[in-house]
A and B are shown apart, each in its own frame.
Chain A
Amino acid sequence: MTRKNGKLPAPYEALARKMILTILIVSFIPVFLVSLTIYFQFHGLYRQKVEDHLVEMVRKHKQQIDAFLAARAADVQFLADSFGRAQLSDETFLQGQLAALQRAYGTTFVDLGVVDAQGHQVSYAGPFKLNRADYSRAAWFKQVLAQRTVITDVFLGLRGLPHFIVATRYGQDDDTWILRATIDFESFNKLVSNIRIGTTGIAFIVNRAGEFQTTASLPAAGKGCFAGFYACDADPSKKIHVFLRPDENGQESIFVTGLLKDRNWLLVYRQQAADAFSELHRAERMSLVFFVLGGVCLLVMAFVLSRRMVTRVAQADREKELMSRQVIEAGKLAGIGELAAGVAHEINNPVAVMIEEAGWIQDLMSDGSLDTPENQAEVRRALKQIHTQGQRCKEITRNLLSFARGSDSRNRPLDVNRVIGDVFNLLGQRAKYAQVAVETRLAPNLPLLTASETEMHQVMLNLVSNALQAMDKEGGGRLTVSTALADGKVVIEVTDTGPGIPEAILPRIFDPFFTTKPVGQGTGLGLSICYGIIHNMGGQIEVESRVGQGTSFRVILPVQTVDETDGK
Chain B
Amino acid sequence: MSIAKVLLVDDEKAFVEAMTRRLVKRDVAIEAAYDGQEALAKLARDSGIEVVILDVKMPGMDGIETLAEIRRQFPLVETIMLTGHATVESAIEGMKRGAFDYLMKPCDIDALLAKVSEAAAVKRRREEKIVAARVQEITSRRP
Contacts and interface: CB of A to CB of B under 8 A. Distances in A.
B58 to A, nearest CB: 8
A190 interface: no
Contact of A353 (B12, B60, B84, B85): B12
B1 interface: no
A357 B18 CA distance: 6
B37 interface: no
Nearest to A389: B14
Contacts of B133: none
B18 A353 contact: yes
A356 B12 contact: no
A433 interface: yes
Contacts of A388: 14
Nearest to A357: B18
A342 B57 CA distance: 12
Nearest to B105: A352
B18 A348 contact: no
Contact of A356 (B18, B59, B60, B85): B18
Contacts of B21: 360
A341 interface: yes
Contacts of B73: none
B22 A348 contact: no
A385 B14 contact: yes
A474 interface: no
Interface bin, chain B: 20 to 34
Interface in A335-384: 341-342, 344-345, 348-349, 351-353, 355-357, 359-360, 363, 382
A356 B110 CA distance: 12
A435 interface: yes
A349 B12 contact: yes
Nearest to A392: B14
B84 A348 contact: yes
A345 B86 contact: yes
A473 interface: no
Given A344-B86, A363-B22, A432-B59, A353 B105 contact: no
A353 B109 contact: no
B29 interface: no
B19 A356 contact: yes
Interface majority SS on A: helix, strand, loop or mixed? helix
B72 interface: no
Contacts of A432: 59
A424 to B, nearest CB: 16
A342 B86 contact: yes
Given A341-B86, A345-B57, A345-B85, A352 B22 contact: no
B141 interface: no
A9 B1 CA distance: 87
B106 A348 contact: yes
Interface in B13-66: 14-15, 18-19, 21-22, 25, 57-60, 62
B14 to A, nearest CB: 4
B106 A433 contact: no
Nearest to B87: A345
A435 B62 CA distance: 10
Contacts of A345: 57, 84-87
A348 B14 contact: no
Of A341, A351, A353, the most chain B CB neighbours within 10 A belong to A353
Sort A-B residue pairs by CB-CB distance and give the 7 closest, nearest first: A356-B18, A352-B106, A348-B84, A345-B86, A355-B106, A345-B84, A353-B14
Interface of B: 12, 14-15, 18-19, 21-22, 25, 57-60, 62, 84-87, 105-107, 109
27 contacts: A341-B85, A342-B86, A344-B84, A344-B86, A345-B85, A348-B84, A348-B105, A348-B106, A349-B15, A351-B106, A352-B12, A352-B106, A352-B107, A353-B12, A355-B106, A356-B109, A357-B18, A359-B18, A359-B22, A359-B109, A360-B22, A363-B22, A385-B18, A433-B57, A433-B58, A433-B59, A435-B60
